[in-house]
Structure 1
Amino acid sequence: MLSKSFALITSVTLALTATSAVAGELVGAGVISTGLQETSAALSSDNNTLYFMRSDFAEKDDTILLSHRRGDGWSTPEVASFSGQWHDSEPAMSPDGKRLYFVSNRPLRAGGTPVMAEMGGHTFAGTNLWYVPQQSDGRWGMPMHVDGALNDGAMIYNPSIAANGDIYFSAHRPDSGQAYQIYVARRTANGYADPERVDLGGVDHNRMDPSVDPQQRFLVYAGNEGDSLGSADIYIAFRDKNGHWSKPEHLPGDVNSASLENAPSLGRRFGELYVSSNRQGEVHFPKKQDDATSLQQRPQEPLNGSRNLWLFDIGDALRAHDIDQ
């Protein structure tokens, strides 16, 4: 039986869809998407386990959770075996499902101090890139630090892994201008090469949260190229046979809204795109009269202005560029 809370969430979601305020699917309403902040979806290779990040409203305490697919729904999330003690965020699965990458402020060595970063005179929790390897029993092993210049500056965010092992990420580096930009660290026989900034145009615009097609045919990311509907929208760029990236395109349809959209990640099925958004439910007056219980309950539900996970289909945008699988 559905709980009263879940039934309320479902009715709000359906009302939103019916009025065309949003499209797509709110992922795990009341289970994965809640009144807290949920971002950064990563799917296991069998598409049945979803890893994501949950934060408080101030985003000072991030934890990686996982949930298992149960029919048409999702199981109650649990904290990932490697998370829960440090500022862990932004999980990303390798295409073969054998490594789960994430960023963290955990010390580089046991007993050390947490990683810190500095920007504009402010000091804050920094991030380095880590991964956990899949063991023979299917469980995750101990976290492994990813060595290389990609961790310079302790501000690496939203990793995304190509099939050949190249790592895309966003960061603020010496050639980033005043904003964040997207970089790639190429996998070599001797580890990772120094990061290269992905050429998506000038550095006047903020570009974050890349998610790369495993074959590196296209890249989706969050930013504002001057035509964003909100503070950040989702864009897509395509790579030609010579390795050059096209001018970024604002994703059409209902992926973007006047709210904040960020942390896009590609799903396991063609055209699937998971996005974090803080879009809210519409309120129509007169409304059903609130009481103390409903006023206390509402902030704990999705569509309250916190970021939730949404699932969209961008298959048409890919087919328009001759990508059909």
Structure 2
Amino acid sequence: MINGRIIAFFFFSIWVNAQEEISVSPAMEVLKDFDKIRDFTLSESGDEAYFTIQSQTEEISVIAQSRKGKNGWEAPTLAPFSGTYKDLEPFLAPNGLRLYYVSNRPMNETKMETKDFDIWYVERNDRTSDWSQPINLGAPVNSENNEFYPALAENGNLYFTCDCPTAIGRDDIFFSKFENGKYSEPIPLSSNVNSEGFEYNAYISKDESYLLFGGYNREDGHGSGDIYISYKNSSGEWSKAQPLPLNINSKYMDYCPFVDETNNIIYFTSRRSTNPNVPIESIESLSKFLDIYENGNSRLYKAEINIKMFIE
């Protein structure tokens, strides 16, 4: 009988060799006028999206939303719970009734001083209802350290980034099990995922069979920051993470993955550029370059890829 790991390696090799066939395109044309866009989450129905819009210095960081109508994605609007503090990294729960995000908002609205970054959420009764006031997820997930980029499996298990003292490296991916209506004490994932460097921006599949995350300046990477994948085996162990192929990854910073599992589309953020590295001959040529989508600014992209076909 052929070993499942050999089959997985075989398919992964095909995937890497076929990287030229992976076509990457702008995720949402209605966002092209914003210089710094990152993070993306999509409803199960595919017609409600949330993302982060920031100023270049990140002094302003808000969560915006867009609806998909008959003529495509509508112009973004500010999420009703965002705009006063630094808010980022939204994640819409699979049932669409709770949206998790990160904020430095104070615990008490009467005190205007901000705190460290925590995971917060808003909730609603149905998709036509208004979002609630923000609610802090609380301990043991939130702490005196920074917590970032929440992602939930369908069973409620939580994966997030933390610069906690228990981390293997600088920033690590942590896991907290949701059981009996409560979250367990978070633990870092193994060294098959985490390293002594930076791991961040995890996306967990709904069935927890695979994990996507960002890794910074790894030896096996394609650029400064790359998107990696790890699979969970039948024993609950994570495989040694591998970078996604080129076209999704690039020599530039690629991060913040999200997967539309229904339509096999990966969304991600990238600072890629088509700069030909030739002198700018005029203001007109400079303006033309700055007007293109791949101009080195943080932008949202998408690509069709069936990640599950590579699971052993």
Q: TM-score range by the shorter chain?
A: 0.7 to 0.9
Does residue 38 (structure 1) correspond to residue 37 (structure 2)? The answer is yes
Match of 1:236 among 229, 250, 258: 229
Two-structure CA RMSD over aligned residues (Å)? 2.5
Match in the other structure for 1:99: 98
Question: For residues 208-263 of structure 1, what are the alpha-carbon distances to aligned partners after superposition, in whole Å with 9 as ceiling and x for unaligned?
Answer: 10000011000000004421111110100000111100000111241100010011
Q: Which amino acid aligns with 1:81?
A: P
Match in the other structure for 1:129: 119
- Unmatched tracts of structure 2, length 5 or more: 1-19
Task: Supply the distance in 1 between the matched residues of 2:156 and 2:169 (Cα, whole angstroms).
Answer: 29
Task: Supply the distance in 2 between the matched residues of 1:285 and 1:206 (Cα, whole angstroms).
Answer: 33
Length-normalised TM-score, structure 2: 0.85
Match in the other structure for 1:318: 308
Per-residue deviation, 1:313: 2.3
Q: Which amino acid aligns with 1:303?
A: E
Match in the other structure for 1:206: 198
8 Å contact 1:35–1:301 — kept in the other structure?
no
Q: 1:27 to 1:256 in 2, by over 3 A?
A: same
8 Å contact 2:22–2:304 — kept in the other structure?
no
- Unmatched tracts of structure 1, length 5 or more: 1-19, 117-125
Task: Supply the distance in 1 between the matched residues of 2:78 and 2:204 (Cα, whole angstroms).
Answer: 26
Matched position secondary structure for 2:141: helix
Q: Which amino acid aligns with 2:202?
A: P
Per-residue deviation, 1:96: 1.2
8 Å contact 1:222–1:235 — kept in the other structure?
yes
Q: Which amino acid aligns with 1:131?
A: Y
Task: Supply the distance in 1 between the matched residues of 2:57 and 2:21 (Cα, whole angstroms).
Answer: 27
Identity %: 25
Could you tell which deviates more after superposition, 82-91 or 68-77? 68-77
Match in the other structure for 1:54: 53
Match in the other structure for 2:23: 23
Q: Which amino acid aligns with 1:101?
A: Y
Does residue 181 (structure 1) correspond to residue 172 (structure 2)? The answer is yes
Does residue 222 (structure 1) correspond to residue 238 (structure 2)? The answer is no
Per-residue deviation, 1:287: 8.5
Task: Supply the distance in 1 between the matched residues of 2:298 and 2:123 (Cα, whole angstroms).
Answer: 29
Could you tell which deviates more after superposition, 306-315 or 275-284? 275-284
Does residue 149 (structure 1) correspond to residue 148 (structure 2)? The answer is no
Kindly tell me the number of residue pairs found equivalent between the two proteins.
Answer: 290
Match of 2:161 among 170, 174, 183: 170
Task: Supply the distance in 1 between the matched residues of 2:124 and 2:191 (Cα, whole angstroms).
Answer: 34
Task: Supply the distance in 2 between the matched residues of 1:70 and 1:146 (Cα, whole angstroms).
Answer: 33
8 Å contact 1:101–1:131 — kept in the other structure?
yes
Match in the other structure for 1:252: 245
Per-residue deviation, 1:314: 2.7
8 Å contact 1:32–1:74 — kept in the other structure?
no
Q: Which amino acid aligns with 1:320?
A: F
Q: Which amino acid aligns with 1:234?
A: I
Q: Which amino acid aligns with 2:205?
A: D
8 Å contact 1:133–1:140 — kept in the other structure?
yes
Match in the other structure for 2:12: none
8 Å contact 1:22–1:254 — kept in the other structure?
yes
Per-residue deviation, 1:300: 6.0
